[in-house]
Amino acid sequence: MQNKSTVQEITSRFDNDVERFSNLQTGQVSTLDAQLSLELITEAAKRLVPHAVNLLDIGCGAGNYTLKMLGKLPDLNCTLVDLSKPMLHRALQRVSSLTERAEVIQGDIRTVDLPEQQFDIILAGAVLHHLRDDSDWELTFKKLYNLLKPGGCLMISDLILQNTAELNTLIWDKYGDYLEAIGGQDYKNKVLDYIAKEDSPRSIIYQLELMTSVGFSNVDILHKNLCFAAYGGVK
């Protein structure tokens, strides 16, 4: 873990990557089924909490998930949290085209001060894989659970591992084949080296069991394609 990117390094990278993350169609080709997962977790949130009032988007980036959610539930009060100030600036620009009820907060979701039992929907798109050890994961899931109102939902789209080493190797070999097919060997190496440096993903099973242990009453998997998945739970 000591060789992983620091919070400051992650922030700097996203500060300089706003344009790419502002375009879901062309900016996230290394993420399998990014558009499908975005549609699934926002539609699931709408169906689970159809009368939602307050939305929290953690690691919001350029605002893709909030924009999609507002397309389904336009009257939401939106709170967007991200490490990167330039990302938040772009997210607010984009979200403000749909609502005046949007607030951005620069900070780390693990430490930022937010009211408990405030949110009906929490969206976590490609952010939790930046967590590190077990205590980090547990504290974060506890916090997200506490931020939700009873009956609220946490919906996640993220990079994942397999629980079994042999199957993990299989899945990541297949993902490497995909990367090489779209960008060649150099692109494959670049993406995999970046993941090794910056990310610490966990399996769906690990995360769903952790969600259950901190209090979520129902957890479910919406979609999985190799090392990417959409899943969530209800408080």
Domain-embedded: residue 93 = yes
Question: What is the pLDDT, as a whole number, of residue 5?
Answer: 73
CB atoms within 10 A of CB 136: 15
What is the DSSP pairing of strand 102-106 with strand 77-82?
parallel
Residue bearing tokens 């085209």: 97
Question: What is the pLDDT, as a whole number, of residue 4?
Answer: 79
Domain-embedded: residue 102 = yes
**Neighbour-count burial for 176-195, b at 16+ CB within 10 Å, e otherwise:** bebbeeeeeeeebeebeeeb
Domain-embedded: residue 192 = no
CATH of the domain at 30: 3.40.50.150
**Among 161, 135, 144, 136, which residue's Cα sits nearest to residue 219?**
144
Question: What is the pLDDT, as a whole number, of residue 25?
Answer: 55
CB atoms within 10 A of CB 64: 25
- Residue 54: partners with Cβ closer than 8 Å, 6 or more residues away: 76, 77, 79, 118, 119, 120, 121, 149
Question: What is the pLDDT, as a whole number, of residue 8?
Answer: 79
| pTM for the model | 0.94
Question: What is the pLDDT, as a whole number, of residue 26?
Answer: 47
In whole angstroms, give the CA distance from residue 61 to residue 187. 23
Domain-embedded: residue 189 = no
Tally of domains within the chain: 1
Question: What is the pLDDT, as a whole number, of residue 173?
Answer: 98
Q: What is the dihedral of CA 79, 84, 90, 94, to 10 degrees?
A: -30
Domain-embedded: residue 185 = no
Token pair of 133 as six digits: 């050890």
Question: What is the pLDDT, as a whole number, of residue 6?
Answer: 83
Residue bearing tokens 């979520």: 216
Q: Note down pLDDT in tens along the chain; length 235 residues.
A: 458 778 777 777 665 666 666 565 545 788 999 999 999 999 999 999 999 999 999 999 999 999 999 999 999 999 999 999 999 999 999 999 999 999 999 999 999 999 999 999 999 999 999 999 999 999 999 999 999 999 999 999 999 999 999 999 999 999 999 999 999 999 999 999 999 999 999 999 999 999 999 999 999 999 999 999 999 999 9
Domain-embedded: residue 152 = yes
Task: Report which secondary-structure segment, H or E, holds 210.
Answer: helix 204-214
Domain-embedded: residue 178 = no
The DSSP result for 145-199, as a single string, is HHHEEEEEEEEEEEE-B-SSHHHHHHHHHHHHHHHHHHHHHHHHHHHHHHHHHH-
Q: Which domain does 125 fall in, by range? A: 7-162+200-234
Question: What is the pLDDT, as a whole number, of residue 16?
Answer: 66
- Residue 23: partners with Cβ closer than 8 Å, 6 or more residues away: none
